[in-house]
Structure 1
Amino acid sequence: MTNATMAAMNNDLSALDAARLLGVSLPTLYSYVSRGLLASVSNGESRRKRYPQEDVLRLAARKYDAKRGGQTAVAAMHWGLPVLETQISHILDGRLLYRGCDARVLAQHVTLETAASLLWDDGASDYFQQDAPAQPPGLANTPDAPPLARAMLAMAMLTTADIPHSLQSGPALMRVLAAALLQTAPSALPLHQQLAQAWQADAQQSELLRATLVLLADHELNASTFAVRCVASTGASLPMALSAGLAALSGDKHGGGSAAARCMLTAALAAPDARTAIATFYTAIAPEFAGFGHPLYPHGDPQLGAILAACTMASDLLAVKPNADLALAAMELAFGWPDGAGMTMFALARSAGWIAHAAEQTASGALIRPRARYIGRHQHG
């Protein structure tokens, strides 16, 4: 027996263990297989079938969700049960995977456009061959609006009746979004190069931008992605679904965390001993502060090593389990990029995932409408 076969078997369950985990009898387990709800595999040396542990756990979660419908959304808000099935991305053993591909490996060599094509349809098509879209009318007249506000305005402008359908395609939306965030004309240049030009980044920083955008392209069912899927499930247009994602991203507990992290780093770097100051921040407020830790990465976010390695304060940060917020803030300060550059990178990168999730939700035809569990007082008499 090969090592690969043994490793695969270690993740498979016997019929008895699978039935016990599902809380069903053996005949019911076998009926699940015959109905296509569960796969069974042969171990190669016995006629006895085994059952992939991940498939069994997924089916068990679905059964539990069906029984506890009112509890599902509540649990999900506290990093509990999954509430939607997806083929787009997932986090497994501290690794972020895009359709089964490790995001860290992808970030070593691909662009955001390539990552978007992978997220949208497993890389079957290169969607970014088309020319740059036209600028939405009126967008150039908002010079004083913050980048995220301009981005939301651009999405709203793309929902009017006289806007051609081609402007509502994924590539066009991402390019319009980049133009709105950077206050430039839409361009067919690679998106990381558009950021590099706007911020006068050198070649090394441009490569770092490319990798960062890939790493931030999707992150399973985060708050902004869930908002996008909810809006898409109603039949709303793709620009309106992206507007929901941008709105959710703006909050301090999501994309706005990089601004708070920048303030913390600025204060720490002004202290006599930056390393001690950062450690003090981490010890005092890490559970609440956006820059430290992540419930899905208890041992630290493994995606960020390459990002922080290029920053002068990297050695001070890697010891405190930084997350994306802190990494984006560190890049802003280390390279002299504009205040809010982190949010711009986050919004542009994550739009790739939002488009993928909106399409998947629309294709399912399902309306996202969880039940509420009422806990208020009841009127008597």
Structure 2
Amino acid sequence: MTDQAAQHSGTGDAAEGPRLTTRETAELLGVKPETVYAYVSRGQLSSRRAPGGRGSTFDAAEVAALVRRTGRRDPAPAQGDLVFRTGITFIDRDRYYFRGVDATELARHHSYEEVAEWVWTGEIRPGVRFTAPPESLAAARRAIDALPAHSGSTDRLRVALVAAAAADPLRFDLSSRGVLNSARGMIPTLVGALPMAGGRELPADGDSGNGAGIARQLWPRLTAQPADAASLTVLDTALALLTDHDLAASTLAARVAASAHAHPYAVVSAGLGVLEGPLHGAASGLAHRMLAEVVDRGGAAPVVADHLRTGRPVPGLGHRLYTGEDPRATALFALLAEVPQAAPVLAAARDVVATTARHTPLHANIDLALAVLSVARGMPAEAGETVFAVSRTAGWIAHALEEYAERPLRLRPIGQYEGPRPPRPLPAG
């Protein structure tokens, strides 16, 4: 028995040893009371109804043994929100940090691949490049070729991911080295499997673009316009900036998959499934269409008015974690100012912000900045979602590495049943 458990007299008699209330048990384990009953349902604790039928009691020695096996965790917050200990991203006062380093500064001085390595390992590997395994790339391209022509980029990425996983016999190696080896091949495979913009032929497997940075490999899959240095810098910086953003919805899904010890490809697939939602990764497409309309109509006022009249929020504005402008947008706007083709679109974005501010003080977010790039350089509306998905793959891998080190299947909430009370008669028919 731990010293702390021994101090609780509980409700049992001397022959059995002390018993603890649910609240006392939760405090010792550092969990919510609901989680105590989850331990009971899994057979890790036994319970007994308290005298008078109010609540349950638990054997103090059994609780102490569970504390020794699992380790005491910090108590859950009063509001009941899930909290994950993570060493990856910290967001504070309208800034965010990767492993303690300002993320916008990292993205300004390092490539996407270098930032990914930093997020994964805490080390910078100057000049690092990721290479797609030929077998995985070939399998991913064949799978994408079988899709309907109208398939979206996220559809293609998910299918490519499944095919690449099937081609990787080492995908079940969940050691840090194994996961990182899979990740370094997975990202360029996803990019290399995407079709070229404008209907151009894909390069042969032996000339897939391996050796070039991810941004340069991705560019011709987003637009038929030739790349220039300034635009490539914007794309590479966007990839770096979007690598992670704490526990976004897609990252939570990825961690749940990792908690079940799903392999890295399955973890990324879980993230992609959530990312496709219109309130997450697909939000940049809405900003793209809105911004293109502003450019076409010569001003933001009529477009913003249409959104307000129909009760639709103006895309690309506001973020729940920032009171001012999204720092990722700020960083990209500064780089977009160096891209000549972006000048009219950037002005249109500023017009949207200023016009909307007359109604509500919202600031630009990353979706608006991605829309400036995609509209200015002739990319489709889904280009921002593609950038988001490719970039965030590195973040999902980083969170998977953390989750693999945790107790398996810890992310198992208990449902609060609100249906008819059993037993009920067997339905007729």
- Normalised by the length of structure 2, the TM-score is 0.65
Paired residue secondary structure (2:91):
strand
* CA positional deviation for 1:347: 0.7
1:295 aligns with 2:308: no
Distance 2:376 2:130 in 1: 35
* CA positional deviation for 1:163: 3.8
CA contact (8 A) 2:161 2:265 kept: yes
RMSD: 3.2
Match of residue 162 from structure 2: 156
1:340 aligns with 2:379: no
Change (3 A) 1:63 1:195: farther
CA contact (8 A) 1:286 1:293 kept: no
The 5 A counterparts of 1:304-315 are 304-309=329-334, 310=336, 311=342, 312=344, 313-315=348-350
The 5 A counterparts of 1:106-185 are 106-123=106-123, 128=128, 131-136=131-136, 137-141=138-142, 142-143=144-145, 144=149, 145-160=151-166, 163=169, 169-182=182-195, 184=202, 185=208
Distance 1:129 1:194 in 2: 11
Paired residue secondary structure (2:243):
coil
Match of residue 228 from structure 2: 202
Which contiguous aligned blocks of 4+ residues in structure 1 show a shift greater than 6 angstroms?
62-65
CA contact (8 A) 1:217 1:350 kept: yes
Match of residue 221 from structure 1: 247
Distance 1:290 1:238 in 2: 32
* CA positional deviation for 1:234: 0.7
Paired residue secondary structure (1:345):
helix
CA contact (8 A) 1:196 1:202 kept: no
Distance 2:245 2:311 in 1: 21
The 5 A counterparts of 1:1-381 are 66-67=31-32, 69=34, 81-123=81-123, 128=128, 131-136=131-136, 137-141=138-142, 142-143=144-145, 144=149, 145-160=151-166, 163=169, 169-182=182-195, 184=202, 185=208, 187-198=210-221, 199=223, 200-271=226-297, 273-280=298-305, 288=313, 290-309=315-334, 310=336, 311=342, 312=344, 313-319=348-354, 320-367=362-409, 368-378=411-421
Distance 1:161 1:181 in 2: 17
Paired residue secondary structure (1:107):
helix
For these two proteins, the number of residue pairs brought into alignment is 313
* CA positional deviation for 1:254: 0.8
CA contact (8 A) 2:307 2:313 kept: no
* CA positional deviation for 1:216: 0.6
**Mind listing any 5+ residue stretches in structure 1 that lack a counterpart?**
1-27, 29-61, 71-75
Change (3 A) 1:373 1:94: farther
* CA positional deviation for 1:369: 1.0
Change (3 A) 1:374 1:332: same
From the CA coordinates, give the structure whose radius of gyration is larger.
2
- Normalised by the length of structure 1, the TM-score is 0.72
CA contact (8 A) 2:301 2:352 kept: no
Identity value in percent = 32
**Greater displacement, 311-320 / 282-291:** 282-291
Change (3 A) 1:284 1:300: farther
CA contact (8 A) 2:329 2:368 kept: no
> In structure 2, what residue type is equivalent to 1:299?
G
* CA positional deviation for 1:285: 7.4
